[in-house]
Amino acid sequence: MTRNLSDQVALITGAGSGLGAAIARALASEGARCALAGRRRAPLQYVADEIGSAGGEAVAIPADVADEAQGAALVAETIRTFGRLDVLVNSAGLLRQASLVQTSTALWDEVLSINLRGAFLLCRAAWPHLQRSRGQIINVSSMAAVQGYLDEAAYCASKHGLNGLTEVLALEGKPHGIRALAVRPAATETPLWERDASIDVRRRMMKPDQVAGLVRWLVTAPRNLEFGPVMVRNFDDPWSH
């Protein structure tokens, strides 16, 4: 079987669960050596072990992406471990639903600092290495980047911001051969929804492996292809039943 990323290294944040874990498994199945980041070591190690059992290579590197020093250390540790960086996937994220007046300043800051500032800090720290490898950035955005949702002021603002950041990364990256794009999945069954959707609704959502398959396709697509933001929606609305 051809493994399209066998000489490449991917750094995936939010890799201990949900979309990040599924994307890590998908990129590893193409031969990418993976650095898995998130705050908790145990779920990262679990995914790293799964990848190892399937014949791939992955290391767990705990880090809080909202912390500038930890983000820089994460990139440095990835380079120390694998010697290069080809693909950065920003999937670390947080959804906390609250009406505008219930959105405390602390909640706003927390969501923005992970979903937007964290992605910015990592893109900036990874940039010189991605220039060297003519690498790629995938920002896991959301349909909340293009429309508003009730009780999601902070989340929608963070994802709209990620949109703008990604557009600029695509422009600034192009002269260096860096391809940057956003993937905007609709509701997907991950721990993100544990508090806010019923089991029945969650069952009808898209699955992380479905989105990860799309990301794998995008990352391995011929490099002369340029992508705008890629939306993936559920043919069936999980809330409409």
Ligand X SMILES: NC(=O)c1ccc[n+]([C@@H]2O[C@H](COP(=O)([O-])OP(=O)(O)OC[C@H]3O[C@@H](n4cnc5c(N)ncnc54)[C@H](OP(=O)(O)O)[C@@H]3O)[C@@H](O)[C@H]2O)c1
> By C-beta, is 11 or 95 nearer to ligand X?
95
CB atoms within 10 A of CB 47: 24
- Is residue 165 within 8 A of residue 123, CB to CB? The reply is yes
Does 40 sit near ligand X (CB under 6 A)? yes
Does 187 sit near ligand X (CB under 6 A)? yes
Does 92 sit near ligand X (CB under 6 A)? yes
Kindly determine how many residues on this chain lie close enough to bind ligand X according to the rule CB under 6 A. 29
Using the structure block, give the residue that is written with the tokens 């066998």: 6
Which is nearest to 34 in space by CA: 11, 52, 53, 4? 11
Using the structure block, give the residue that is written with the tokens 């493994």: 3
Does 38 sit near ligand X (CB under 6 A)? yes
CA dihedral 6, 11, 13, 19 (to 10 degrees): -20
Whether 155 is catalytic: yes
> By C-beta, is 31 or 154 nearer to ligand X?
154
Would you give the binding string for ligand X spanning residues 191-230, x where CB under 6 A is met? xx--------------------------------------
Q: Which stretch binds ligand X (CB under 6 A): 49-57, 163-171, 173-181, 190-198?
A: 190-198
- Is residue 114 within 8 A of residue 94, CB to CB? The reply is yes
Does 166 sit near ligand X (CB under 6 A)? no
> By C-beta, is 13 or 220 nearer to ligand X?
13
Does 163 sit near ligand X (CB under 6 A)? no
- 163/175 Cα distance (integer angstroms): 20
- 209/206 Cα distance (integer angstroms): 9
Residue 110 C-beta: closest distance to ligand X, Å: 8
From residue 62, alpha-carbon distances to 67, 87, 136, 223 in Å are 12, 18, 22, 31
Does 78 sit near ligand X (CB under 6 A)? no
One of 48, 155, 182, 212 is an active-site residue; which one?
Answer: 155
Does 39 sit near ligand X (CB under 6 A)? yes
> By C-beta, is 4 or 97 nearer to ligand X?
97
Does 185 sit near ligand X (CB under 6 A)? yes
- Is residue 122 within 8 A of residue 74, CB to CB? The reply is yes
- Is residue 36 within 8 A of residue 14, CB to CB? The reply is no
- Is residue 18 within 8 A of residue 188, CB to CB? The reply is yes
Does 142 sit near ligand X (CB under 6 A)? yes
Residue 129 C-beta: closest distance to ligand X, Å: 19
> What are 206's two structure tokens?
């898209």
Catalytic residues: 155
Residues that bind ligand X (CB under 6 A): 13-14, 16-20, 38-40, 64-66, 91-95, 114-115, 118, 140, 142, 185, 187-188, 190-192
